[in-house]
């Protein structure tokens, strides 16, 4: 059964810590609860988005640098 990682606040979603770095995770990667899967930026303040449970990234539901709303599904886990 699939679950999702949701945005905890509105802002801009980033898949990497900075433009020169690799993405935190890719589709197909396994994650554990507490692993960072992205960042949300609000007014130049960055907040980590963490997986709430163990699973495998099945797909990203938003693109890098997309605007997101609080509660929006960002990542689907299987």
pLDDT computed for residue 9 by the predictor: 97
CATH number of 3-77: 2.40.50.100
Tens place of pLDDT per residue across the chain (78 aa): 689 999 999 999 999 999 999 999 999 999 999 999 999 999 999 999 999 999 999 999 999 999 999 999 999 999
Q: Where are the domains of the chain?
A: 3-77
Q: What is the pTM of this model?
A: 0.93
What Å distances lie between residue 59 and 31, 42, 45, 46, CA to CA?
13, 24, 26, 23
């Amino acid at each position: 059964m699939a679950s999702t990682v949701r945005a905890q606040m509105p802002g801009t979603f980033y898949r990497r810590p900075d433009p020169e770095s690799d993405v935190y995770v890719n589709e197909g990667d396994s994650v554990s609860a507490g692993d960072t899967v992205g960042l949300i930026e609000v007014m130049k303040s960055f907040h980590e988005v963490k997986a709430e449970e163990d699973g495998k990234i099945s797909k990203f539901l938003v693109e890098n640098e997309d605007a997101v709303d609080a509660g929006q599904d960002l990542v689907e886990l299987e």
